[in-house]
Homo-oligomer: A and B are copies of this chain.
Amino acid sequence: MAKKKSEPKAKKPTTDAKRADAKGSATEPLLGSDASDLLRVKLGFDLAAVDPRSTPGFAGGKTEGQEQLDAGTEELADLQERLFAASKGGAPESVLLVLQAMDTAGKGGIVRHVVGAVDPQGVALTAFKAPTAEELRHSFLWRVRRKLPTPGLIGVFDRSHYEDVLVHRVRRLTPLETIEKRYEQINAFERQTAAAGTRIVKVMLHISPEEQKARLAERLERPDKHWKYRPGDLDDRALWPDFQQAYQIALDRTSTELAPWHVVPADRKWYARLAVQHLLLQTLRGIDPQWPAADFDVEKEKKRLAGL
């Protein structure tokens, strides 16, 4: 029942040639700068047409993908340090990575293997669980706003305010007319956040139900994975089509110029990690953070130091 995920598998034909067709040449299997464009949710986007096993923008296999991931960590760490340093000089920029996905899609692996490659002092990670009693007394955006990254930081949301239009829609935890208003509230909130200097990178990790079944089966097979399994995961799984529909609506309504969604095929963990690293790299390159100028008299300090 459990597929062995680590075995190389033949690449299945993809259902969406435009997205899945690798743009890199066979001799240069790099994830090109067009990958973020390939992954971005635009007008007319169809989630059902995205093959979760595809590797948009990347012609290589697992080995090349892992090599490129390793190769990218140094630049990512350097850009993160520059972002952090620039904020000490007054630069307002920060980055916010929003991760949403069905269970087992690999959010944790992204945090560990992509975000985990940079200095933890530059990262503000928040895993949003079911809201507390205090949080429920406020607007659904209240707890999220409090966790926005301050200048210089890379914020990561493991789940987010999107739960309030995803699981709330599927499980009818909130009246539909309230949910309908939330999309625009989210857009306004994200516009405000972007205007303050936060570059928002929203990622849906897109896994297939078959791959989820294999991953859940593995968690049930291995005693060292039992702690990751929740019987509630299967309740969500039973509502798969409803969740996909809720995602489609959220993607349609909240993929904006300033805060676009990216749907990252996630049946191949190595690809998803590479793609998210790429999105972060592109975002940070876009900021192009600079070392700040000294706000003190360097020569004077050198003289003081020499005398001490």
Contacts and interface: CB of A to CB of B under 8 A. Distances in A.
Contacts of A298: 220, 226
B120 A308 contact: no
Interface in A150-178: 158
Contacts of A286: none
Most buried by B among A108, A127, A213, A298: A298
A75 to B, nearest CB: 15
A234 interface: yes
A88 B158 CA distance: 18
Nearest to A127: B121
Contacts of A229: 294, 296, 301
A304 interface: yes
A131 interface: no
A274 interface: no
Given A234-B305, A234-B308, A238-B308, A292 B227 contact: yes
A134 to B, nearest CB: 15
A89 interface: yes
B234 A304 contact: yes
Q: Please report whether the interface of chain A is mostly helix, strand, loop or mixed according to DSSP.
A: helix
Contacts of A237: 305, 308
B123 A120 contact: yes
Nearest to A240: B308
Contacts of A121: 108, 111-112, 125, 127, 158
Contacts of A133: none
A302 B222 CA distance: 12
Contacts of A8: none
Interface in A20-60: none
Contact of A120 (B120, B217, B238): B120
A303 to B, nearest CB: 10
Nearest to A113: B119
A112 B116 contact: no
Contacts of A213: 305, 308
Interface string A65-87: 00000000000000000000100
Interface of A: 1, 85, 88-89, 108, 111-112, 115-116, 119-121, 123, 125, 127, 158, 213, 216-217, 220, 223-224, 226-229, 231, 234, 237-238, 291-294, 296, 298, 301-302, 304-306, 308
6 contacts: A1-B305, A108-B119, A111-B119, A220-B302, A227-B291, A234-B301
